[in-house]
Amino acid sequence: MSWFVLVLSGVLEAVWATALGKSEGFHRLGPSVVFVVALLASMSGLAFAMRDLPVGTAYAVWVGIGAVLTVLYAIVTGAEPVSVAKIVFLLMIVAGVVGLKLAH
């Protein structure tokens, strides 16, 4: 259950990071509300997962999932250019996250 919650929290990290960017410094209400709700849910899930998982592993997986999904969203929406190098490095992050799960 902790791993499932951790992965979901990592997805929510990508949601709040994207919403933060779209909030224009908290001047847009909709994205600002999404940011706060997703941040609270993401942090709560991370805290829940850390009850059973080592702090370093949980945090690294959470950040890795959030970072990869945030970049992929930006690429898909055209907000960020795609390159072979970027894809290779994102795959390296994914491999690290999977490796941490396997090592646990």
Query: CB atoms < 10 A from the CB of 35, how many?
Result: 21
3-state SS class at 87: helix
Give the pLDDT score at 101. Answer: 87
Give the pLDDT score at 38. Answer: 98
User: CA-CA distance, 76 to 59, in Å (whole number)?
Assistant: 26
Task: From first to last of the 104 residues of the chain, give the pLDDT tens digit.
Answer: 999 999 999 999 999 999 999 999 999 999 999 999 999 999 999 999 999 999 999 999 999 999 999 999 999 999 999 999 999 999 999 999 999 889 87
Give the pLDDT score at 104. Answer: 77
User: CA-CA distance, 87 to 102, in Å (whole number)?
Assistant: 22
Domain housing 40: 2-103
User: How many independent structural domains does the chain possess?
Assistant: 1
- What pTM does this model have? 0.91
CA atoms within 13 A on the CB side of 91: 6
